[in-house]
Structure 1
Amino acid sequence: MPSESSGLIHHPDGCARCWWAGLDPVYVAYHDTEWGVPERDGRALYEKLILDGFQAGLSWITILRRREGFRRAFNGFDPEAIARFTDADVARLMGDTGIIRNRAKIVGTIAGARAFLAIEERGPGFSRFLWDFVEGRPIQGRAAERAGIATETEVSRRMSKALRAEGFAFCGPTIVHAFMQAVGLVNDHLVGCHRHAPCAALGGSL
């Protein structure tokens, strides 16, 4: 069985992983291939921000297991398509068992799509809008133990405020920090995790 020490789980495959990945193969794969990898595609960043908003009050694995359902329901997270959604689309989505059926979050997704398009239209785009908060390069976390991982930071508070000013919803500082960790704006793999160094090596600037 894997053993846990200071937030690291040592798996039978010889790899040490962050505690939250646990044993679920879906979660382990997400930890090993996605979480903490710098994402610079604006549309992918929009998708992840929306999914993190849907996570509010829930576990991330709940969202992860429904990710394909969300992609289907929200037209592949195409902001231009979502921005045109009507009340009829909201009603349709409220009946879709493949997603989390929360009206406020669905309406917030539509508002976020319109905000995304407004940022894109005025330039230099949504990706740059986000990456400018970290000056184009991921913040490199140095925590060796679980207790050293923050739940929100000064940067996540500033980003949260800016996103809300643009019209995004469900983007409080804690949600935004989780988003930043997921998309590699900050590398918060524990230093003993086998993914810390590879993610750090991907941290080139815009």
Structure 2
Amino acid sequence: MERCSWSQKNERMQEYHDNEWGRPNTDDSYLFELLTLEGAQSGLSWNTVLAKRNHYQEAFRQFDIQECASMTDEDLEHIRHHYGVIKHSAKLASVRNNAAKALTIQDEYGSLSSFFWRYVNFTPIIHERKEETEVPSSTELSAQISKELKKRQFKFVGPVTVYSFMQAIGMVDDHVQSCPYHSKNINA
């Protein structure tokens, strides 16, 4: 068995693939972190974002949603200048914006996790893909979730970003069948 080829670029990508990608997670802070990082990736490589992940965690207080929602313009400007994050001002401002919107979802649904996971009836979608070329960049479901998030005024949540997020938090298992980390191989 061989890992999904995208994970073999370097040790950081391999570790992320082996220990996180496609593994179901329902922790709100983790979900908010991955939604933020996937949005930050827009136009960049995932490897670039992963290389900056520790800086993001430190700058955004371990992705505590309440703390991120209460950040000031000065806080965001300080982060832009003093942390090893992607310097795109709109992407940084989206963290505060999306945190505020996430708090509203938590009030409405009880948790961010409940909001997202209800789209798959709280059960991961496990695909049986033979080749990585079969993995889409977005789906009807990611477009539906993206539309709902945009309606709620989230930023950097297009259908491709949302599908990557769904893969990241394990709502979707897109490991190829031959990968030892595919759900059916882990549970065998």
TM-score (norm 1): 0.87
Which secondary structure does the structure 2 equivalent of 1:158 belong to? Answer: helix
Quick one: percent identity of the two aligned structures?
A: 36
Corresponding residue for 1:30?
A: 16
* Greater Cα offset, 116-125 or 172-181: 116-125
Aligned-residue offset at 1:93: 1.8
Corresponding residue for 2:143?
A: 157
Corresponding residue for 1:46?
A: 32
Q: Distance in 2 between matches of 1:30 and 1:85?
A: 28
Corresponding residue for 2:45?
A: 59
Q: Report Cα offsets for 1:148-182 as digits up to 9, x if no partner.
A: 11110010000111111222110100011011111
For residues 82 and 40 of structure 1, do their structure 2 counterparts lie closer, same or farther at Cα, with a shift above 3 Å needed?
Answer: same
Corresponding residue for 1:183?
A: 169
**More strand by percentage:** 1
Q: Distance in 2 between matches of 1:67 and 1:141?
A: 28
1:136 aligns with 2:122: yes
TM-score (norm 2): 0.95
Q: Report Cα offsets for 1:100-142 as digits up to 9, x if no partner.
A: 1110001111000001111111233210100011111111111
Q: Distance in 1 between matches of 2:16 and 2:55?
A: 17
Corresponding residue for 1:103?
A: 89
Do the aligned partners of 1:140 and 1:200 also contact (CA within 8 Å) in 2? no
Larger radius of gyration: 1
Aligned-residue offset at 1:91: 1.5
How big is the alpha-carbon RMSD for the aligned residues of Structure 1 and Structure 2? 1.4
Aligned-residue offset at 1:86: 1.1
Q: Distance in 2 between matches of 1:150 and 1:66?
A: 26
**More helix by percentage:** 2
Q: How many residues align?
A: 187
For residues 17 and 107 of structure 1, do their structure 2 counterparts lie closer, same or farther at Cα, with a shift above 3 Å needed?
Answer: same
Q: Report Cα offsets for 1:75-107 as digits up to 9, x if no partner.
A: 111111111111111211221341111100011
1:167 aligns with 2:153: yes
Show structure 1 runs of 4+ deviating over 4 A: 198-201
Name stretches of at least 5 consecutive residues in structure 2 with no aligned partner: none
